[in-house]
Amino acid sequence: MIALIQRVRKAEVTVTDPLQRITGSINQGLLILLGVHETDTEAEADWLSKKCVGLRIFPDGNDKMNLSLPDSGGDVLVVSQFTLYGNADKGNRPSFIESARPEKAEPLYELFCASVSDLLGKPVQRGEFGAMMDVELTNWGPVTLHIERRAKLS
């Protein structure tokens, strides 16, 4: 599972098809683009949600990245993005065969969102799974992190 994490001053996601509508909007916090790998399990969703919430990437009183999301009072917007497992090693058209199929990815996306919400004690804003979306953000810093947790296969 991949989380592409952006510390933002604000972020918003709009579903564009068939009618435009805003499905999630936050002020200061994290925009998390979430990709689910075909081998991912609940264990990866659980680990990654804890890692995202605990990251100390918000400024303290001395302007040092020392505060976590709960410490800063920030919010979270999570957007599913299967293209994070796109592979463009061969040719110019990416392959997405490592991305989990929707029937597997959606429950893990929902589990990740629920876990983040539980850890924060407040709702998580979301995109719409499987929809065509526009994401607007103001990256703060900029701070962007890529964190991946792969299933341990026996």
**Catalytic status, residue 81:** yes
SS (H, E, C) the chain: CEEEEEEEEEEEEEECCCCCEEEEEECCEEEEEEECECCCCHHHHHHHHHHHHHCCCEECCCCCEEECHHHHCCEEEEEECHHHHCECCCCCCCECCCECCHHHHHHHHHHHHHHHHHHHCCCCEECCCCCCEEEEEEEEEEEEEEEECCCCCC
**Catalytic status, residue 82:** yes
Candidates 6, 14, 58, 82; catalytic one:
82
Candidates 6, 81, 112, 125; catalytic one:
81
**Catalytic status, residue 83:** yes
The residues annotated as belonging to the active site are 81-83
